[in-house]
Amino acid sequence: MASLRPLLPIAALLLLLLFLISFHSDPPPILSRTPSHPLDPLTFDEIAAIRSILVSYPPFAAPNQFPAIHSISLDEPPKLIVLRWRPGDPLPPRRATVTAYSPPGHTHLISIDLPSGRVLHHSNPSGFPFLTIDDMRRAIATALNDPSFLQSLNARGLSSSDVNCAPLSPGWFGSEEDHCRLVKVQCFAAAPNFYLRPIEGLTAIVDVDAALVIRISDSGPGIPISAGEDTDYRYSTQRNKPRSFSNPINPVSLEQVGGPSYFIENSHVIKWASWEFHLKPDARAGSVVSRARLRDPESGEWRSVMYQGFASELFVPYMDPSEGWYFKTYLDSGEYGFGVSSMPLVRLNDCPRNAHYMDAVFAATDGSPFVRPDLICIFERYDGDVAWRHAQPHIREARPKITLVVRTAASVGNYDYIVDWEFQTDGIIKVKVSLSGMLLVKGTTYQNLSQVPEGEDLHGTLITDNIIGVVHDHFLSFYMDMDIDGPDNSFAKFHMIKQETSPGESPRKSYMKVIGSIAKTEKDAQIWVTPYNKSEQWAGGRFVYQGHGDDTLATWSDRDRGIENKDIVLWYTLGFHHIPCQEDYPIMPTVSSSFELKPVNFFRRNPILRAPPYTEVDLPVCSVMASL
Q: Which residues are catalytic?
A: 332, 415
User: Are 111 and 96 in contact, with CB atoms under 8 Å apart?
Assistant: yes
Under the binding rule (CB under 8 A), the answer on residue 67 touching its own copies is: no
Under the binding rule (CB under 8 A), the answer on residue 401 touching its own copies is: yes
End-to-end CA distance of the chain: 21
Under the binding rule (CB under 8 A), the answer on residue 370 touching its own copies is: no
Compute the least distance from the CB of residue 414 to its own copies, in Å.
8
Under the binding rule (CB under 8 A), the answer on residue 550 touching its own copies is: no
Give the separation between CA 287 and CA 268, rounded to whole angstroms.
Answer: 11
Please name the residues in contact with 405: beta carbons below 8 A apart, sequence gap of 6 or more: 377, 378, 379, 380, 381, 420, 421, 422, 423
Q: H or E element: which one contains 362?
A: strand 356-363
Compute the least distance from the CB of residue 572 to its own copies, in Å.
18
Q: Which is nearer to its own copies, 42 or 205 (CB)?
A: 205
**Region 444-483 residues binding its own copies, contact defined as CB under 8 A:** 457, 459, 461, 464, 471, 473
Compute the least distance from the CB of residue 60 to its own copies, in Å.
29
Total residues in contact with its own copies, by rule CB under 8 A? 162
Q: Which is nearer to its own copies, 443 or 460 (CB)?
A: 460
Judged by CB under 8 A, the residue of 104, 116, 222, 230 near its own copies is: 230
Under the binding rule (CB under 8 A), the answer on residue 9 touching its own copies is: no
CB atoms near residue 153 (< 10 Å) = 21
Please name the residues in contact with 624: beta carbons below 8 A apart, sequence gap of 6 or more: none
Give the separation between CA 253 and CA 14, rounded to whole angstroms.
Answer: 17
Q: Give the binding range for its own copies (CB under 8 A) out of 68-76, 88-96, 232-240, 525-533.
A: 232-240
Compute the least distance from the CB of residue 320 to its own copies, in Å.
7
User: Are 205 and 182 in contact, with CB atoms under 8 Å apart?
Assistant: yes
Q: Which is nearer to its own copies, 247 or 450 (CB)?
A: 247
Judged by CB under 8 A, the residue of 5, 86, 396, 534 near its own copies is: 396
**Region 318-337 residues binding its own copies, contact defined as CB under 8 A:** 319-323, 326-327, 329
Binding-site string for its own copies from residue 424 to residue 443, where x marks contact by CB under 8 A and - marks none: -xxxx-----x-xxx-----
Q: Which is nearer to its own copies, 43 or 425 (CB)?
A: 425
Under the binding rule (CB under 8 A), the answer on residue 88 touching its own copies is: no
Under the binding rule (CB under 8 A), the answer on residue 5 touching its own copies is: no
Q: Give the binding range for its own copies (CB under 8 A) out of 106-114, 199-207, 235-243, 280-288.
A: 235-243
User: Are 149 and 139 in contact, with CB atoms under 8 Å apart?
Assistant: no
Give the separation between CA 585 and CA 70, rounded to whole angstroms.
Answer: 34
Q: Give the binding range for its own copies (CB under 8 A) out of 67-75, 124-132, 475-483, 585-593.
A: 585-593
Give the separation between CA 37 and CA 471, rounded to whole angstroms.
Answer: 44
Give the separation between CA 15 and CA 20, rounded to whole angstroms.
Answer: 8
Q: Which is nearer to its own copies, 465 or 558 (CB)?
A: 465
User: Are 229 and 465 in contact, with CB atoms under 8 Å apart?
Assistant: no
Name the amino acid, one letter, at 261: S
Compute the least distance from the CB of residue 139 to its own copies, in Å.
17
Q: Which is nearer to its own copies, 124 or 565 (CB)?
A: 565
Under the binding rule (CB under 8 A), the answer on residue 493 touching its own copies is: no
Under the binding rule (CB under 8 A), the answer on residue 626 touching its own copies is: yes
**Region 163-222 residues binding its own copies, contact defined as CB under 8 A:** 173-175, 192
Under the binding rule (CB under 8 A), the answer on residue 497 touching its own copies is: no
In degrees, to the nearest 5, what angle opens at C-alpha 157 toward C-alphas 154 and 158? 70
Under the binding rule (CB under 8 A), the answer on residue 381 touching its own copies is: yes
Under the binding rule (CB under 8 A), the answer on residue 371 touching its own copies is: no
Q: At what angle do helices 147-155 and 133-144 cross, to 10 degrees?
A: 70
Q: How far is CA 23 from CA 9, 26, 127, 379, 484, in A?
A: 21, 6, 45, 17, 38
Under the binding rule (CB under 8 A), the answer on residue 385 touching its own copies is: yes
- Residue 282's beta-bridge partner residues? 286
Q: Which is nearer to its own copies, 126 or 261 (CB)?
A: 261
Q: H or E element: which one contains 24?
A: helix 7-25
In degrees, to the nearest 5, what angle opens at C-alpha 384 toward C-alphas 407 and 277? 35
Q: Give the binding range for its own copies (CB under 8 A) out of 104-112, 113-121, 216-224, 241-249.
A: 241-249
What phi and psi, each to the nearest 5 degrees, are found at residue 232?
-75, 110
Compute the least distance from the CB of residue 274 to its own copies, in Å.
4
Characterize 531-566 residue by residue with b for buried, 16 or more Cβ atoms within 10 angstroms of its Cβ, and e for exposed: bbeeebbbbbbbbbbbbeeebbbeebbeeebebbeb
Q: Side-chain half-sphere of 417: how many Cα atoms within 13 Å? A: 31
Compute the least distance from the CB of residue 277 to its own copies, in Å.
14
SS3 337: coil
Under the binding rule (CB under 8 A), the answer on residue 359 touching its own copies is: no
Compute the least distance from the CB of residue 112 to its own copies, in Å.
30
Q: Which candidate, 163, 475, 470, places its Cα nearest to that of 326?
A: 470
**Region 110-169 residues binding its own copies, contact defined as CB under 8 A:** none
Judged by CB under 8 A, the residue of 91, 119, 180, 608 near its own copies is: 608
Binding-site string for its own copies from residue 502 to residue 521, where x marks contact by CB under 8 A and - marks none: ---xxxx--xxxx-------
Compute the least distance from the CB of residue 220 to its own copies, in Å.
16
Binding-site string for its own copies from residue 254 to residue 293, where x marks contact by CB under 8 A and - marks none: xxxxxxxx-x-------xxxx-------------------
